[in-house]
Amino acid sequence: MLTSGPVRRGTFGRLGPGSPHSRRVKGTLFVDYVRMLRAKKGVDWSKRLQPQDLGYLVQRIEPDAWYPMETFERMGDAILAEVAGGSLELVRTFGRASIDWLCQQHANLVAPGDTIETLMRFQVLRRTFFDYSALEISSLSDGEATLHIVYGMGPVAEEAACWQTLGFFERLLEVAGARDVKAWFSSRAWAGEVVTSVQLRWSR
């Protein structure tokens, strides 16, 4: 089970703001969304973000601090609409590009030439990115892996975040030395299934 309680089909296990179990994301990931919003000049973000969200665009984001997942979700929706123009392939590219920043913050993430060790290191590290079970590597062997994802967002943000995750893992494997990397969804939470599953295949 990937969340702290049962997940009903189509509900995404959502938790409301102010709940004692409200979900949070670490600044290491949160800052990536903030940077994309800041870089897009001339957009009135107040039309897509709530007042409490806008403050994050003008303050320093601390990599080790926790930030509300509700704000992260709204920022993701805004980025999809205003930065990516609704293109999920572009969101996938954003995920690939985020590897460089994450490797700067976590120099030991990649084990050059060892894809399995790299994914195992990520499995340990990802527990510091969210304060709930958003992402799990459910199976891992030489040349293949399966990810289970439950970010707990609404369908639009969930789909975009999963595409970003898919791109992230494609690039992570390539940086670790994998060749012929293939990634695809075998189930989709935003379409009503319980979790999103990503299949990864590669050669060395």
Per-residue pLDDT of 34-51, as tens digits, reads 999 999 999 999 999 999
Q: Residue 9 domain-assigned?
A: no
Domain membership of residue 44 as a residue range: 24-203
Reported as a pLDDT band with limits 50, 70 and 90, residue 21 is low
Q: How far apart are CA 137 and CA 120, in angstroms?
A: 8
Q: Residue 13 domain-assigned?
A: no
The answer to whether 192 touches 182, Cβ cutoff 8 Å, is: no
Q: Residue 36 domain-assigned?
A: yes
Report pLDDT for 100.
87
Q: How far is CA 105 from the centre of its chain?
A: 16
| Count: domains in the chain | 1
Cross-strand partners of 198: 147, 185
CATH number at residue 188: 3.90.1520.10
Q: Residue 11 domain-assigned?
A: no
Q: Residue 145 domain-assigned?
A: yes
Q: Residue 7 domain-assigned?
A: no
**Longest Cα–Cα distance in the chain:** 48
Check pLDDT > 90 for residue 12.
Answer: no
Q: Residue 105 domain-assigned?
A: yes
pTM: 0.85
Residue 66 CB burial class (10 angstroms; 0-12, 13-18, ≥19) = middle
Reported as a pLDDT band with limits 50, 70 and 90, residue 121 is very high
Percent of the chain with pLDDT over 70: 90
Q: How far apart are CA 192 and CA 12, in angstroms?
A: 8
Q: Residue 51 domain-assigned?
A: yes
The answer to whether 80 touches 90, Cβ cutoff 8 Å, is: no
